[in-house]
Structure 1
Amino acid sequence: MEDSKEKIILNVGGVRYETYSSTLRTFPGTKLCSLTEPHAPSIYDYNPTTKEFFFDRSAEIFSYVLNYYRTKHLHCPMDTCRSVLEEELAFWEINETQLASCCWLKLNNKEVQPEEFHIWDENDQADDQCLIVQTERMDFSWRTRWQPKIWSIFEKPFSSFSAKCLAVVSLLFIIGIVIIFCEETKAQFEFFTANFTFVGHSEVAHNYHEPYYHQAAYLLHLELFCVLWFTFEFSVRFCVCPDKKKFFQNPLNMVDFLSLFPVYIELFVDGQIQKMPSLGLWLGFIRIVYLLKLLKISKLIETPLILRVLSYTLKSILREICILLMILAFETLFFGSLFFYGELLCSNPSYSGELHFTDIFVCFWWALITLTTVGYGDIIPLTSVGQVMAALAAVFGMLTIIIPIPIFLVKFKNYYAIAVFKQKLKRCKNY
């Protein structure tokens, strides 16, 4: 085997390969290189009859390994698994870092971390259906027999026909209370406009009559009817819920709980609400939670894949978002302060008009809307220095917001590819 032109025959997984010993010496210290040593037949599985070395390994990957010795460029099959490739390369004593850049990127795109690979299964179980605790009870009490059934009716709309009917009824009540909420705002708006008139940017209160807040009785009765249904539904779900702690950790359940209070409070203070008209406005403000109940429609439809990926992406980049908000807050304070003192120090002494700001907090508001490129125009610079500050704020704002966007898009693309791969894998298992 000393001759560089001497041929060596390799039998890998039943496939015979023939090459020169000089080719195997391309990378010293590897297993194939050791086959050129004189004592190799006594170490490895060597057949003196056929004069070949036998290795019970993957023939497909070995062809790429042998080609690596010939061309000094290591590639891998298109459909190879990373763990299998690492195992084969380790057997042939080849470092995986020698892999060509094209195949390296391909494997990295296909590589899925365990926590990322199973994230979609966890997301599917992260909703209210996950609150069902699997217990092995030997008793046959009424609660044990009926609790899972009632919970499924209220939490799994597609589990049975009765669950579908209940979900439709609940949806109709939600739509109804949203319509009632919109109708109630008319009385609140009339009360506000009847007691205040606007002159320019200031408001002047009327003193010609006493404030009077009146809500139509039929709207309050209809709202009470809907809230009574929500109270019944919430009470049943809370009673049959196996895990009360997880029940209240769900934001939608907290919305259901808060939505019960406005109408009961208004009924409790019905005789005094006209003496405290602002209370009616505050109760109307709290009624905004009725709109959040519309999010429960998501239980009736399958959440689109892109929304689930977006949700997980936002969670994964929460740290980056916090850093971005900190930078934006610093720029708001910095440019707001520069604008405030720049306008004061560089304003023309002969200018007798009023400035567009009254204090530095108003300048902070101006800096925020300028950095975010919204620019309402309610506050504008009057001096050259102020205009320069405004231009710098707009430029820095665009850089602050635009530069991180590609980073977020790359993460979103990676997570979306993982999600699509996971769905395809589930479909293959189902079929």
Structure 2
Amino acid sequence: SITSLTVGVCARQARRYLRTALANFPRFPSSHRIILNVGGTRHETYKTTLKTLPGTRLALLASDSDIDSVLDQLQQVPGFIEYNARTNEYFFDRHPGVFAYVLNYYRTGKLHCPADVCGPLFEEELSFWGIDETDVEPCCWMTYRQHRDAEEALDVFELNVDNGEEDDEIGKRLGIEDVAADGNVSLWRKWQPVIWNLFEDPYSSRAARFIAFASLFFILVSITTFCLETHEAFNKIINKTESVRNSSVPDSGPQYEIETDPALTYVEGVCVFWFTIEFLVRVTFCPVKLEFVKSVLNIIDFVAILPFYLEVGLSGLSSKAAKDVLGFLRVVRFVRILRIFKLTRHFVGLRVLGHTLRASTNEFLLLIIFLALGVLIFATMIYYAERIGAKPNDPTASLHTKFKNIPIGFWWAVVTMTTLGYGDMYPETWSGMVVGALCALAGVLTIAMPVPVIVNNFGMYYSLAMAKQKLPKKRKKHIPQVVQGGSPTYCKADLNTTCNSNQGDLCHVKGSRVLERNRSGKTIWPDKGHMEEKIMRNFNSAVEFRLCGREKTNLEICKHKLHSPHFHRVDSLTNL
């Protein structure tokens, strides 16, 4: 039929076009291809693809030089490389998942960041392959920058709870890192960290928790006393001064002197005594006095304590200057309310709030600018809008409106834009009502824009604080022990063990012991002399140990291994 004939013609034409395209397609010999084994995952590509980014590690690998010269050049760059002459492949002990994105960058010219890989790991891999981080595509730049923001937040948010710092770092801060091996140390160096942690770290011990609870109790009592001192039930008139008529001095009228209930004064004295003891102990046992003086909370402690002692010392004096100073101190009693900020030592949420406010400075500045613009615009609009219906006999419109000038309208605009609406000032004309409605809508939109950013900052800081608070204690670091070449179980465990290269982990020899680092930071190697003898005696076994779990190599590969930094690391054990 006609339909079958047409289909047959189309099929023949398609085959003809396909043969023509395949004939014109450039053919590369096998020598132009290169095999890369990264973390156990084999990748195959063309050398011309690797040459698209000159100056990188892979571009150097794809150069036209011979293999020996290429390996010599690559060994000058930090990093481990191994060449297998039998399989004609290069081995890199790096993360295979990240390398897929790196190789795709050579192919497409676009570098994307994987969402399931931690930022520092991706940054380290880019540095290893010689790729600049600025080449990351804009769509992935925010994902790549997340780890930087988290690291900056952790640096700013110093939360030392649950012994988050290592013992070595605490010892360096307290000046006790150099302790004799027999444990001899002076009483001052022995008790300084103990007393300091009692008053500074509520999570260090039960006694520290008790002291923190006592400090919290006195803070609440002091604030309660400060509020009750202003109530009339705790104030009484103790002296009534009669007015005296004099020809030279006019009659000034009766004068009264008010005194606070002594019970509140005694309670405040007990609280101040506790705060004084706490402040003196902390400043005495502080490891770094300069940082203690620069702390805002410590300055608040000193400012809140000082007026009480000055007031007690000047209360017995009768001079006019002393009374003036005493009156001034009574006015500045409000600084005692600053003790509420001492609660930040005991509540993580308050510290998170403080860091959030500091981190959101730009957002607050933007909010203030938006409000200032809105206040200026709507205060001017409401002033002229209220004058539209003014009567002829009232040119200033003072009879039917309260907006007599633009500065008064500033207050109304602020109250309206923040949706408070006190009701002391309101428009009375239809044009003023329209301006008021627009002002309220603009205020809602103005405040709503920067607030989500501030909320996100608080959520980020709070999550980091909770994560840092739950970190396990870091006291000793464990280093895998090098397995001896002559041991009965040498490299036998890996024969039946597979390594998941997709996770980027190294295959470890089963049953290897673990080395612990002591307090001085020195590594303890057991059986040092025996190990040295074994390494020198079993040279070839030491080379094969580095290739444990992988394909055995010939003598040419072992020669290249001699120049590897990983082999030198094993061979350096003979110098211990």
Which residue is 1:252 aligned to?
Answer: 297
Which residue is 2:432 aligned to?
Answer: 386
**SS of aligned partner of 1:213:** strand
Deviates most, 8-17 or 32-41: 32-41
Q: 1:387 to 1:71 in 2, by over 3 A?
A: same
Deviation at 1:10, TM superposition (A): 1.6
1:165-203 CA-partner distances (Å, limit 9, x unpaired): 4444443333333333333222179889xxxxxxxxxxx
Q: Verify: 1:12 aligned to 2:50, yes or no.
A: no
**2-structure distance, mates of 1:180, 1:396:** 43
Q: Verify: 1:292 aligned to 2:321, yes or no.
A: no
The answer (yes or no) to whether the contact 1:30–1:94 under 8 Å persists in 2 is no
Q: 1:208 to 1:337 in 2, by over 3 A?
A: farther
Deviation at 1:370, TM superposition (A): 1.4
Q: 1:5 to 1:389 in 2, by over 3 A?
A: same
The answer (yes or no) to whether the contact 2:228–2:234 under 8 Å persists in 1 is no
Q: 1:363 to 1:429 in 2, by over 3 A?
A: same
Question: Of 358, 365, 372, which residue of structure 2 is paired with 1:322?
Answer: 365
The answer (yes or no) to whether the contact 2:38–2:96 under 8 Å persists in 1 is no
Deviation at 1:279, TM superposition (A): 11
Deviation at 1:86, TM superposition (A): 0.8
**2-structure distance, mates of 1:47, 1:290:** 73
Q: Verify: 1:109 aligned to 2:152, yes or no.
A: no
Question: Of 414, 417, 434, which residue of structure 2 is paired with 1:371?
Answer: 417
Deviation at 1:257, TM superposition (A): 3.1
Deviation at 1:16, TM superposition (A): 7.8
Q: Which has the larger radius of gyration?
A: 2
Question: Of 223, 227, 241, which residue of structure 2 is paired with 1:178?
Answer: 223
Which residue is 1:199 aligned to?
Answer: none
1:267-289 CA-partner distances (Å, limit 9, x unpaired): 855899xxxxx999987764444
Q: Verify: 1:86 aligned to 2:126, yes or no.
A: yes
Q: 1:12 to 1:286 in 2, by over 3 A?
A: same
**2-structure distance, mates of 1:256, 1:230:** 8
**SS of aligned partner of 1:374:** coil
Deviates most, 239-248 or 223-232: 239-248
Deviation at 1:315, TM superposition (A): 1.9
**SS of aligned partner of 1:348:** coil
1:50-88 CA-partner distances (Å, limit 9, x unpaired): 472434354724555566778888666633621243145
Q: What TM-score results when the alignment is normalised by the length of structure 2?
A: 0.52
Which residue identity is paired with 1:3?
Answer: R
Q: 1:378 to 1:55 in 2, by over 3 A?
A: same
Alignment RMSD = 5.3
Q: Verify: 1:347 aligned to 2:347, yes or no.
A: no
Deviation at 1:388, TM superposition (A): 3.5
Which residue identity is paired with 2:410?
Answer: F
**1-structure distance, mates of 2:271, 2:133:** 68
Q: Verify: 1:3 aligned to 2:27, yes or no.
A: yes
Q: Verify: 1:222 aligned to 2:290, yes or no.
A: no
Which residue identity is paired with 2:117?
Answer: D
Deviates most, 308-317 or 353-362: 353-362
Deviates most, 61-70 or 366-375: 61-70
**2-structure distance, mates of 1:238, 1:33:** 60
Deviation at 1:227, TM superposition (A): 3.2
Q: Verify: 1:29 aligned to 2:52, yes or no.
A: yes
Deviation at 1:338, TM superposition (A): 4.0
Q: 1:230 to 1:415 in 2, by over 3 A?
A: closer
Which residue is 1:52 aligned to?
Answer: 88
Deviation at 1:366, TM superposition (A): 1.3
The answer (yes or no) to whether the contact 1:188–1:281 under 8 Å persists in 2 is no
The answer (yes or no) to whether the contact 1:342–1:386 under 8 Å persists in 2 is yes
1:77-136 CA-partner distances (Å, limit 9, x unpaired): 63362124314543xx7998376946x65434345575445334x4549xxxx9x96347
Give the helix-richer structure, 1 or 2: 1
Q: Verify: 1:400 aligned to 2:436, yes or no.
A: no
Deviates most, 377-386 or 153-162: 153-162
The answer (yes or no) to whether the contact 2:175–2:287 under 8 Å persists in 1 is no
Deviates most, 413-422 or 228-237: 413-422
Q: 1:271 to 1:43 in 2, by over 3 A?
A: closer
Q: Verify: 1:119 aligned to 2:156, yes or no.
A: yes
**2-structure distance, mates of 1:408, 1:222:** 40
Q: What TM-score results when the alignment is normalised by the length of structure 1?
A: 0.66
The answer (yes or no) to whether the contact 1:333–1:364 under 8 Å persists in 2 is yes
Deviates most, 397-406 or 147-156: 147-156
Q: 5+ residue gaps in structure 1?
A: 193-206, 273-277
**SS of aligned partner of 2:386:** helix
Q: 5+ residue gaps in structure 2?
A: 1-25, 72-81, 162-169, 180-184, 238-251, 319-323, 477-576
Which residue is 2:374 aligned to?
Answer: 331
State the identity as a percent: 30
The answer (yes or no) to whether the contact 1:11–1:52 under 8 Å persists in 2 is no
**1-structure distance, mates of 2:126, 2:366:** 37
**2-structure distance, mates of 1:224, 1:376:** 41
**2-structure distance, mates of 1:67, 1:422:** 36
1:199-249 CA-partner distances (Å, limit 9, x unpaired): xxxxxxxx9986563533333333334334434444554555565554444
Deviation at 1:291, TM superposition (A): 3.9
The answer (yes or no) to whether the contact 2:37–2:43 under 8 Å persists in 1 is no
1:3-51 CA-partner distances (Å, limit 9, x unpaired): 3475846252585858575xx6567635879999987768657999747
Counterparts of 1:121-270 in structure 2 under 5 Å? Answer: 122-124=158-160, 134-135=174-175, 150-159=195-204, 163-187=208-232, 213-238=258-283, 241=286, 246-260=291-305, 261=307, 265=311, 268-269=314-315
**SS of aligned partner of 2:35:** strand
Higher relative contact order (CA 8 A, sep 6+): 2
**2-structure distance, mates of 1:265, 1:48:** 85
**2-structure distance, mates of 1:219, 1:95:** 64
Deviation at 1:374, TM superposition (A): 1.6
**2-structure distance, mates of 1:265, 1:250:** 26
The answer (yes or no) to whether the contact 1:9–1:16 under 8 Å persists in 2 is no
The answer (yes or no) to whether the contact 2:39–2:96 under 8 Å persists in 1 is no
